[in-house]
Amino acid sequence: MSMRILFLNVFLCLITSVTVAQSHLLSGTVRTSGNEVLSFVSVSLKNTSYSAVTNEAGEFLIPKVAGGNYTLVVSHIGFKVFEKDIIIKDKSVFEQIVLTSEATDLNEVLVKTEKQTKIQETKPISISSIEVKNVISQNVLITDVVDRLSGVRIRRSSSLGESSDISINGMRGNAVRVYIDGLPLEFIYPNFDISTLPLGNLKRIDVYKGVLPVDVGTDALGGGINLITEQKSYNSLKASYSLGSFNTHLADFNLGLTNAKNYFINISGAYHFSDNDYKMNARIYEKNNKVERIRRFHDRYRMAFGAITVGTHSKPWADELKLTLNLSGGDKELQNGARVTGLAFGEANYTAQNLSAILKYDKSFLGEKGLFTTTLNYSDQTLEYVDTTRNVYSWSGKIVGRQGQQGEYSRSNSETYIHSWVNRTSISLKLAPNHKLLFSNLYAKQKLTGIDYLEQNADEDYLRIPQYLTKNVAGIQYEGLYLERLTFSAALKRFDYILNGAENNTFQLVKKKDGIWGYNAALKYDIAEGVFVRASYEKGFLIPLFSQFVGNGAEIVRNTDLLPESSDNVNVGFSVAKPVSKLVNITSTVNGFYRNQHDIIFIGDGVIRRYDNADQVRTVGVEGDVLLTYKNAFSWKTNVTFLRKTFTKVKLVESQFLVGTGFPNNPTFYANSELSWQKVNLVKNDDRFRVYLFYNYIAPFNHITIGQGNSLKNTPEAYVPVQHRLDAGLSYKFPKRALTASVNVLNVLNAELFDNYLVPRAGTNFNIKVIYEISNF
């Protein structure tokens, strides 16, 4: 059957190519005089039926145009109508159009353009969406951007290169997945973290809370973050450099070149470096564990990234076809483990290299009513981890002793090789003007091998035995609009996985295969323009890690009977976005959420341990945000999140005291607030100045398990204390908008801040950032 479908697709493509060869293709872009793209702009050829509307990138496409002389007409609310006489004689004609505002003062113009971020945030499922260009001067890391959203908490130490703990509505760890253009990060860049990815080449960040659409999600239990990259159809150059405290340097660039025949090439690169030598309080071993202010001494991080993309777009046989090659590498010194103990690490480190290739193809069909898209990725990563010293380091940096066994964190001198193949293929069909059907399938396979240089006998080297993990997540989703007010969506998902390898203690071969069904549904009702309510539900699943099935070859033994974790995720929300007056606008969203997790994978205590499906946890919470703007100059954004995450069932008899207590290391109340002022034409025409204050509050929470009688008052050592953080900054975009400079000061008041498990964060620190961007050269 699959061969018949393939033959039919090839035949249809050939017929389409022959038909289109007899006509012409008109395409182009529409931008403002300030070089900003305009979406939903009407483009037509006067006195004909040829017309189109620009997409979110400001691009339009009119196929099958007969040759001849025409008048091109472009119109949009708030802009003067554009007309131009053109001649269609070449097979492909490309036009770059610049619209002029009808008003002279940009602050008084309200352009009613439906941005993609707004489209995402007004869907039936709960999504927070960020346009990166609006925040790039204020933030240097992706995690800094996402951490400011309601319901989201991203904790990472102040050390650049450290892994991040992502929490969305109380769901943490592997329950939250990160994607790049819909492909899972753990397969594209294994062992790389969201905080280490370059920010400069991103267009948008979508954060899904509880429910994921079939063309993005995998086995995410409670949410996901999708990073959308940008592919421009015109010549462009964007470069940025940031200098910050602790000898931190962040640089990236993206050069895009196109021609009139719609072929393009993109070259991008990034470099990150930091000594991470910030000061913190620590116990000094040789001074009877006296607490002193020390500087971290073994925490350096380096990363380099390079990519080249070649492709074409707006062709009769492809809406877009592109091939990307990525090469990245870096190294990181380790200063401490998950917690700060009485001793530091002074020699442990890891190095990673990754080579990745991505092939993407999009093609519309059935007169633009259908869209076929497929993306194929292969990545090859090598991770080298060295931890062999017998030296014992104090937080002062001095060697204070020798230990009998090697290793500061986990004794190792090894290389791990990870080979990953991923394909996501989706087909969307517009059944009617307001009804859409979506099919999507993700196939991912990962092979893990390696070498343990401390194992002298190769036959006893567990890393040399190939381990395979295969996932396939298929789904079908429907979305429709009824009675012009009610939007309904529903999806059915199928999760299949296969694990092949060996138990790492006995080397016994292990195979685990299973399949499960998941589903979701959502409703949104538009009460009035800009006002709606919505509700959603998803039955989500999380497939266990291979290491949880087979153990670690020592004190943790295998358990191939492990079940996937599951969760019932419910969201109910209300949103309003309306002008209060001609000068004041308000946008506000309130969302209540409920998560009921089952079969949580838990590792027991004892000399011999294994992973089991043990505990059940319930999370109940509410989040809300408000945005007020005045004259497009002043803005105040604030959001608040409150949740309670508690044990509802515990398997171990001796741990029954945990039932009803708070889940450890999980913030329960936090809030962000930002006040900003911006001014256009402050010094010269077409310049832009912005200044802001940002405040973050985190209430105390237990970082270890506690009993019913424990509290901050009687067991303060079990809690992370209250945290207040204040940031400030300003940016200036020079005339003609080619150059932007910004200064940001973090933790202005030098407050005591903490990361996961009470790891101290840096005090007052700063960064200076310069962004240079030109287009259409």
Sheet holding 127-131, edge to edge: 127-131, 202-209, 223-229, 176-180, 183-184
In the chain, the percentage of residues whose pLDDT exceeds 90 is 49
Please state, in angstroms and rounded to a whole number, the distance separating the CA atoms of residues 635 and 370.
40
Residue 131 carries which side chain, given as an amino acid letter? E
User: Which of the four pLDDT bands, split at 50, 70 and 90, describes residue 485?
Assistant: very high
Architecture of domain 116-225: Beta Complex (2.170)
Map 280-315 to HEC letters: EEEEEHHHCCEEEEEECCCCCEEEEEEEEEEEEEEE
User: Which of the four pLDDT bands, split at 50, 70 and 90, describes residue 114?
Assistant: very low
Provide the CATH topology of domain 23-104. Immunoglobulin-like (2.60.40)
Identify the weakest region by mean pLDDT among 466-480, 549-563, 721-735.
549-563
CA distances to 346, 439, 517, 563 from 538, in Å: 46, 18, 11, 18
Please state, in angstroms and rounded to a whole number, the distance separating the CA atoms of residues 108 and 111.
10
Most confident of 23-32, 33-42, 563-572, 751-760: 563-572
Q: What is the pLDDT of residues 556-611, one digit of tens each?
A: 667 777 888 899 999 999 999 888 888 889 999 999 999 999 988 777 555 556 77
**Predicted local confidence at residue 751, as pLDDT:** 95
Structure-block tokens of residue 240: 């940025």
Domains 23-104 and 226-775 share a fold: no
The domain limits of the chain are: 23-104, 116-225, 226-775
Please state, in angstroms and rounded to a whole number, the distance separating the CA atoms of residues 480 and 622.
28
Element (H, E) at 186: helix 185-188
Please state, in angstroms and rounded to a whole number, the distance separating the CA atoms of residues 330 and 352.
5
Q: What is the pLDDT of residues 625-657, one digit of tens each?
A: 999 999 878 999 999 999 999 988 887 777 788
Options 2.40.170.20, 3.40.630.10, 2.60.120.10, 3.40.309.10; which CATH number does 226-775 get?
A: 2.40.170.20
Write 405-409 long-range contacts (CB < 8 A, 24+): 406/454, 407/348, 408/334, 408/345, 408/346, 408/347, 408/348, 409/334, 409/337, 409/345, 409/348
Structure-block tokens of residue 629: 């703007």
**Predicted local confidence at residue 107, as pLDDT:** 35
Residue 514: phi and psi, rounded to 5, are -160, 165
